[in-house]
Structure 1
Amino acid sequence: MNKDAPRQISEEKAFVLMATLCAKREYCTLDIRKKLSRYLLDDNVIDKIIDRLKAEKYIDEARYCHSFINDKLRFDKWGRKKIEFTLRQKQIPLELISNALLEFPDEMFNESLETLLRNKLKTIKSNSDKEKRFKLIRFAIGRGFLMDETLACVERILSSK
């Protein structure tokens, strides 16, 4: 039997499975809803399970938001815009996203950006400073960093080399 094939399970078993998942790492409501929909459960049952997971603190959107931002900033070197965009795609309320982003100082984003751009600069084959500048800016913007912080960091890096 294909383990990814949809199958029907009881409400209690679905709750236990999701509680076990949530105990191992953070999940948002949308992630859990997608996982539960694979078990051919009614929307009412899914809502009931999610409400119970929230009531028992297995799902906490604010905690998820903080954890997501921390991981994406430290490990993936994402900027504010990309983090915010991804969290909004996961249907996290904008107020929670804004509050969670405020917990991370600008210095953390700037350090992350500088590390990212210094590593990227080593891989750029161009001799022209103008072309290097353009490639670094485009790379940083693609990672979700703001234009003003990107420009300042690129100038610092190129003037110090």
Structure 2
Amino acid sequence: MEAASADPLFDAEDRLQHALDLAYRHLARRDRTEIEVRRHLAARGVDPATAEHAVAELTGQRYLDDARYARRFAEDRRTLDQWGAERIEQRLLAAGVEPELVAAALAELNPEAELEAAIAVLRRRLPEPPRTPREADRALGLLRRRGYEVELAYDAIRAYRRAEPPSG
């Protein structure tokens, strides 16, 4: 029924049902943003008006909820991948989540947990705390690529240095 979205023989109700079927299958794997669903439907030949109607219906049924998506994404990326706030923010914005929803999701994250996550990244990737300026720069780069803000990265490096006695 892939052709249903473009076929004039199908009425608006059939086109909407086809769009909903496509969207439900797309949402079955994981949560998606409204924009991701719109793009998916467009790629499958669903006309924009039908796609908008489908997105509105899915939102009304709470199958689509960008605020929920942002909260879960932020929590998962912090917990599972130990990403910093900047990287989480960049990815959510790239996924089409509204900036105010991104800010709300980030505000729900525990700032102390972010510092702990940064220290955990350092412990996992660096067998010993950075002692030289070059090692500290390497540690800073590692944390910045993970999306940690500069000041928090420095705090994590200092905390890692304090927690680990020098070997020797």
Which range, TM-score by smaller chain? Answer: 0.7 to 0.9
Which of 140, 144, 151 pairs up with 2:143? 140
Aligned-residue sequence identity (percent) comes to 22
TM-fit CA distance, 1:128: 6.1
Gaps of 5+ in 2: 5-14
Supply the AA of the counterpart residue of 1:104. Answer: L
The residue correspondences of 1:13-52 to structure 2 (distance < 5 A) are 13-52=18-57
Gaps of 5+ in 1: 1-6
Supply the AA of the counterpart residue of 1:43. Answer: P
Task: Name the SS of the counterpart of 1:8 in structure 2.
Answer: helix
TM-fit CA distance, 1:19: 2.5
TM-fit CA distance, 1:13: 2.4
Task: Name the SS of the counterpart of 1:12 in structure 2.
Answer: helix
TM-fit CA distance, 1:123: 8.9
> Which of these two proteins has the greater Rg computed from alpha carbons?
2
The residue correspondences of 1:77-92 to structure 2 (distance < 5 A) are 77-92=82-97
The residue number in structure 1 matching 2:161 is: 158
The residue correspondences of 1:52-131 to structure 2 (distance < 5 A) are 52-122=57-127, 129-131=132-134
Task: Name the SS of the counterpart of 1:40 in structure 2.
Answer: coil
Distance in 2 between the 1:115 and 1:136 partners? 12
TM (normalized to structure 2)? 0.82
Runs of 4+ in 1 over 6 A off after TM superposition: none
TM (normalized to structure 1)? 0.85
Task: Give the number of aligned pairs.
Answer: 153
8 A contact 1:140–1:150 mirrored in 2: yes
TM-fit CA distance, 1:91: 2.1
Supply the AA of the counterpart residue of 2:118. Answer: L
CA-based RMSD of the aligned residues comes to: 2.0
